[in-house]
Amino acid sequence: MVSAAVGFQCPECVQQGAKQTRSGRTPYGGLRTANPGLTSIVLIAINALVWLFVVASGGYRGEWYDRLALMGRGKCDATGTGGYWSHITSAAACRAQDAAGRPSEWVAGVADGSWWQLGTSIFLHVDVVHIAFNLLALWILGPQLEQLLGRARFLAVYLGSGLAGSAAVYWLTDPTTQTLGASGAVFGLMGALLIIGLKAGGDVTPLLIWIGINVVITFVGANISWQGHAGGFVGGVLLAGVLAYAPRQRRATWQALGVSAVMGVVVLMFVLRTLSLT
């Protein structure tokens, strides 16, 4: 997923939300943190370290890229050609192709058991511009949301949105296409900030403009996963919705139930898609 440009700050959201909160708690029940940018810094560091490791191990042509990128089902790469044998759909047949003198290598996908790709792909980048845009967006949006939601709730929105983006990619992308990047999670933060801004009564016009710009870039740019962006955005909207609009009485319980319900749908999407590909 190649990230579109993002740049937005919502001081009104933070200021208006701060008026509603009691000491030690965020407006939506989370624990206040001394450094609301810390979680974003840690996420940025993880993304950067994974990027350095994958680039050092061969980038797009490396073994770790194939292990970490999201692909619906496996394919048999024709070694050295940049293509793959479309008629071969199993590791055994791929090995037979290789043994017959046609150099081939099996690359496993989620439906073949590489389920971790649904999560690892969220932290995977190869292109410098790709990771730069995504991490810049995370640095701009992340601390604002962590200040409003608290660390645990912010992390739930970020990771949940990323997984929702993976679910959309898994369902809507050609199963032999490899997808990567934090863009789904970033779009989820945009959707979450929109919901929080509306709840706080802030002016979300600048954010809507930036979302519109990102949508345009998503569809006119090359090699950009609209599926991941859309899935992440919807995930962020839903997760922020259950956090922001949960009843005040037993709010933490309602929030936990709401987040669990959203993620339950995401997991169900993973399971149903896997069954359809096997």
What are the residue numbers of the active site?
183, 229
CB 149 within 8 A of CB 236: no
CB 71 within 8 A of CB 109: yes
Beta strand ranges found along 100-248 (DSSP E): 104-107
Which string of b and e fits 148-186 if b means at least 16 CB within 10 Å? bbbbebbbbbbbbbbbbbbbbbbbebebbebbbbbbbbb
Cα separation, 141 vs 120, whole angstroms? 21
Residue 193's nearest CA partner among 166, 213, 211, 219 is 211
| Phi, psi (rounded to 5 degrees) for 177 | -95, 130
Tell me the pairing of strands 104-107 and 83-85.
unpaired
